[in-house]
Chains A and B, each alone.
Chain A
Amino acid sequence: MKMEKALEELADRRARALEMGGAEKVERHRSRGKLDVRTRIEKLVDPGTFREVGTLSGSAQYDADGNLVSMSPANFIFGRAKIDGRDVVIAADDFTVRGGAADASIREKSVQAEKMANHFRIPMIRLIDATGGSVRTVEAMGRTYVPGSPAWGPIVSNLETVPVVSLVLGSVAGIASARAVASHLTVMVKDTSHMFIGGPPVVARLGIETTKDSLGGYKIHEKSGAVDMVVGTEEDAFAAARQFLSYLPSSVGEQLPQLDRCEVAPDQSLRDIVPEDRRKIYKMREIVTRVVDPGSFMEMAPMFGRASIQGLARVDGRTVAIMASDPRIYGGGWNADTCDKIARFFDFVETFRIPVLNFVDCPGFVIGPDAERTGTIRHGARTMSAIYRSTVPIMAILIRKVFGVAGAAHMNHEVYRHRIAWPSGDWGSIPLEGGIEAAYAADLEAAEDREATLAEIVARLDALRSPFRTAEAFGVEEIIDPADTRENLVEFVHLAYRRNMIDKPPVRYRP
């Protein structure tokens, strides 16, 4: 047979690559409750579809006669595969080879992986389990080096070209953490993943004692906003990646996936959700999940910027972006974190041209010393700018409150407004509660019985508060029976899909 020897060597070298960091290191890795890198890829993608690139790369030792003695595979594996039949790029760190350390890797591999996703315009999925630079490299190289991030350009470009998902599957630091968050979806696994700029030993040099959990565990990052989702197991993380991709096109400029249509009967129980007492809260997620296709809502960043609920869902089989106030958190008022969350969300929906359903119950920006100290108004103005620059179709569903500057930002008012309200609607420049004392200060000052005068003013203004008076003046386009919400959404979504790929501005996405 021709090439017999060469083919034997090829098979031998491929077999060595499959050994990863060696039996002992793989076993130690597994004993920490983690899957090895090749099992991860196998579980993530459609069976048998992973086509590796750079299988033979690594660091080899030869004897004096030039025979291969040992081979340590590269600690970064990548290739093409399919997920639900669609092409993707998978890029995965191998922690069993020098802890996946970035500067011990073959840099060109990660650059090529990012470029491949960009070239073929297919989603990029990173399985991250690596540290950043290591001081050991200095000795190995015999010199230091000026840091640079050769893959960062392609990473940024990918954010504006294809869906990018990063799964944090170990204790990651430095450039690996930056790669993790430079994504449209970043997922952490509860007890086996951590994320730091510098880990506990590095932080200890500052005189601050920490543990992996206290410094960069999931409880820190689900609230820091650095990750979008926390799941229980690596398998859950793979399922989250697959579900996320199912809502999105393979690249920008392509229409969103459209599944089979979905009939849902009008739901009269929606009439009972919003309490009559305006000081009482309710569960906005109940409304969202009852009007989108059953089981289709995937929430992102539920523990960060919590006054705004965000995620993806389907209506009549079409992907929609969900933005909804949560009255349980500051009555739905926006603080700095909430503003940042919304601004990033608008970058995301603009990138992939996803029509937005905005369920509004917003009393305005959160006020008070904390709000001023954290510069809420600047974060808010930035968010409003993002909304006013957006061109994707937005439908606002005014559930209850719409007050103040943040309330006004429920859509871009410069363009056609697609908007409905529930009869529970309550709006204005500022809420009557609290605004009266300021606006009627002179009357109250002059009153003999301050409380009685206040009650009289409240009663007078309350009578003017009916949303139907606003509708008379066409200040709100339509007030509907909450039970009819779904049918209104379905009609909008079909109209939105006629419109969402028109007038696309250049994509700009910032992580």
Chain B
Amino acid sequence: MADIELKSDVSGRVWQIPKSAGDSVEAEEAVIIIESMKMEIPVAPEQSGTVVKVLVAEGDEVEEDQTVAIFSPD
């Protein structure tokens, strides 16, 4: 299946990046966690697969709808 872009639903700051390129991820498991409005808001795929590339670093500011990782669904 073609790679897809994982986007942040919110603007905010990258707080944690629990997954790296090559890691497998379950559906709805956080790849990146954005801190926004004092909440931990995960960027998570809808289905399981593998992280291809992480495009942000901890502490980065992100915009709403910004692509933060590339993901390969199973």
- Give chain A's interface residues, CB within 8 Å of chain B: 279-281, 306, 327-331, 333, 363, 366-368, 370, 431, 433-434
A434 touches B40 (CB 8 A): no
Contacts of A328 in B (CB 8 A): 9, 41
B2 at the interface (CB under 8 A from A): no
| Closest chain A residue, CB of each to CB of B40 | A279
B38 touches A433 (CB 8 A): yes
Report the minimal beta-carbon distance from A284 to chain B, rounded to whole angstroms: 13
B37 touches A330 (CB 8 A): yes
B48 at the interface (CB under 8 A from A): no
Report the minimal beta-carbon distance from A363 to chain B, rounded to whole angstroms: 6
Contacts of B36 in A (CB 8 A): 330-331
* Extra pairs beyond A279-B39, A328-B41, A331-B37 (4, CB < 8 Å): A306-B9, A330-B36, A330-B37, A331-B38
Contacts of B41 in A (CB 8 A): 281, 328-331
Contacts of B70 in A (CB 8 A): none
9 residue pairs, one from A and one from B, having the closest CB atoms: A331-B39, A331-B37, A330-B37, A333-B37, A433-B38, A279-B40, A330-B10, A363-B37, A279-B39
B38 touches A279 (CB 8 A): yes
B24 at the interface (CB under 8 A from A): no
A363 touches B38 (CB 8 A): yes
B45 at the interface (CB under 8 A from A): no
Contacts of B9 in A (CB 8 A): 306, 328-329
B11 at the interface (CB under 8 A from A): yes
A281 touches B11 (CB 8 A): no
A328 and B11 alpha carbons, distance in the complex (Å)? 12
Contact pattern, B 1-45, Cβ under 8 Å of A = 1, otherwise 0: 000000001110000000000000000000000001111111000
* Interface residue SS majority, chain B: loop
Report the minimal beta-carbon distance from B67 to chain A, rounded to whole angstroms: 14
A434 touches B38 (CB 8 A): yes
| Closest chain B residue, CB of each to CB of A366 | B37
A368 touches B38 (CB 8 A): no
Contacts of A367 in B (CB 8 A): 37
B39 touches A431 (CB 8 A): no
Report the minimal beta-carbon distance from A469 to chain B, rounded to whole angstroms: 22
Contacts of A434 in B (CB 8 A): 38
A280 and B38 alpha carbons, distance in the complex (Å)? 10
Contacts of B64 in A (CB 8 A): 370
Contacts of A333 in B (CB 8 A): 37
Contacts of A366 in B (CB 8 A): 37
A329 and B11 alpha carbons, distance in the complex (Å)? 10
| Closest chain A residue, CB of each to CB of B38 | A433
| Closest chain B residue, CB of each to CB of A368 | B11
A431 touches B11 (CB 8 A): no
| Closest chain B residue, CB of each to CB of A280 | B40
A191 and B65 alpha carbons, distance in the complex (Å)? 22
Contacts of A368 in B (CB 8 A): 11
Q: Can you offer 28 A-B residue contacts whose CB atoms are under 8 A? A: A280-B39, A280-B40, A281-B39, A281-B40, A281-B41, A306-B9, A328-B9, A328-B41, A329-B10, A329-B41, A330-B10, A330-B36, A330-B37, A330-B39, A330-B41, A331-B36, A331-B38, A331-B39, A331-B41, A333-B37, A363-B37, A363-B38, A363-B39, A368-B11, A370-B11, A370-B64, A431-B38, A434-B38
| Closest chain A residue, CB of each to CB of B9 | A329
A433 and B41 alpha carbons, distance in the complex (Å)? 16
| Closest chain A residue, CB of each to CB of B28 | A283
Contacts of A281 in B (CB 8 A): 39-42
A367 and B39 alpha carbons, distance in the complex (Å)? 13
Contacts of B10 in A (CB 8 A): 329-330
Contacts of A279 in B (CB 8 A): 38-40
| Closest chain B residue, CB of each to CB of A335 | B64
A366 and B39 alpha carbons, distance in the complex (Å)? 12
Report the minimal beta-carbon distance from A321 to chain B, rounded to whole angstroms: 24
Q: A327, A330, A370: which has the most chain B beta carbons within 10 Å?
A: A330
Report the minimal beta-carbon distance from B68 to chain A, rounded to whole angstroms: 15
Report the minimal beta-carbon distance from B70 to chain A, rounded to whole angstroms: 19
| Closest chain B residue, CB of each to CB of A327 | B39
A123 and B40 alpha carbons, distance in the complex (Å)? 44
Report the minimal beta-carbon distance from B42 to chain A, rounded to whole angstroms: 7
